[in-house]
Amino acid sequence: MKKEPLKIALLLFLFILPYTAHASVRQNSLDVKIGQMLMIGFRGFSVAEAPGIAENIKKRHIGGVVLFDYDVPSHTASRNISSPMQLSSLTIDLQKLSEIPLFIAIDQEGGKVCRLKTSRGFPPTVSAARLGQIDSPDSTTSAALQTALTLKKMHINMNLAPIADLNVNPDNPVIGRLGRSFSADPSVVVRNITLTADTFRNQGIIATLKHFPGHGSSTTDTHFDFTDITGSWSDKELEPYRALVASGYHDAVMTAHVFNGKLDPLYPATLSKNVLDGLLRKKLGFSGVIVSDDMQMKAIADRYGLEQAIRLAVEAGVDILLFGNNTSYDPDIASKASMILRSLVKKGIISEKRIDLSYRRIMELKKRYLFSGK
């Protein structure tokens, strides 16, 4: 009788061992590490409607997806979100496809930049501009809590928010006019993004401060144009990042595609080692994950080839390359990006050590949020 439990235990061990070894090898392979550096947008209300994204998750091991309610290239509202029930089903099914938990990201800032709209059954939201005017801890915390709880119900774990940009130019077509900034006053912005990020974290939602090193003074939109802020940007636009990093913030920061000759005479921030490694990492001390703004925006895509843009972004310090597939749509973008990264490593242009660095940051963030059971 005593031999039976030992026999069962041995059989279980022999069954589990190959799987464990296989999973360990897969999760430490170069293909997996490269895949984790990609966040991809896609079309479809369900996994069945989006076989491409299923293949990208299972075959290319992409680390994250980004969801939209409107498909810009086709000018239709047929994208990823139709109702709470549909969205919840989609995100659960996406997560089931992945061996490593996915970042499931969305832009749910509140106000005009709001993917989960009341017309589709989601709660109303408040813009950052309105919350900054009120400048009340209770109001900001309440708004952030409602957003966080809504995302949790939808199994979305990463919000590409809050906006850390200062409202330097109220006529800014992509920040000021849309009410996306809390204030022109750095202290108001710091108070409100701190409350928002803390509330998200307490609910298990990853915050993403954006757009580094500051997009609030621009006069053009990086979705459509080269955007030069050399003459309008000032050091005070770094204060929100400086304050939060100093207080221990180390989740995620999103880059801006803005060109700032004061910081780099050659490249926009997303592609600038001076800005990302020199300023954000070394000077400000940020140790978390750097996420690019959409690499398909025209400020990047119209001036750089895909391989050059990927190479420069990774060399600059970007950990996650975001391809929203919603400025232009390329169903093969994940395959192209992963092939380019593998080729750059094979040629010795980007080292495996550099890939490992991003992979470790990504996995550390995932372990804090997605493996913790929050």
Residues annotated catalytic, as ranges: 223, 293
Report the amino acid identity of residue 89. S
Q: How far apart are CA 129 and CA 152, in angstroms?
A: 24
Q: Taking a C-beta distance cutoff of 8 angstroms, is the pair 250, 288 a contact?
A: yes
Where helices occur in 229-373 by DSSP H, the ranges are 239-246, 273, 298-301, 306-316, 333-346, 352-369
Q: How far apart are CA 20 and CA 292, in angstroms?
A: 33
Of 244, 246, 255, give the one whose Cα is nearest residue 201. 244
Of 197, 85, 93, give the one whose Cα is nearest residue 144. 197
Find how far residue 321's CA is from the centre of its chain: 8
Q: Write down the residue that tokens 């235990």 correspond to.
A: 9
Q: How far apart are CA 116 and CA 107, in angstroms?
A: 9
Rounded to a whole number of angstroms, the CA Rg of the chain reads 21
Q: How far apart are CA 57 and CA 40, in angstroms?
A: 10
What sign has the CA pseudo-torsion 354, 355, 359, 362? positive
Of 334, 332, 368, 367, give the one whose Cα is nearest residue 34. 334
Written as one string, the DSSP assignment of 42-107 is ---SSSTT-HHHHHHHHTS---EEEE-SSBTTTTBS-SS-S-HHHHHHHHHHHHHH-SSPPEEEE-
225: helix, strand or coil = coil
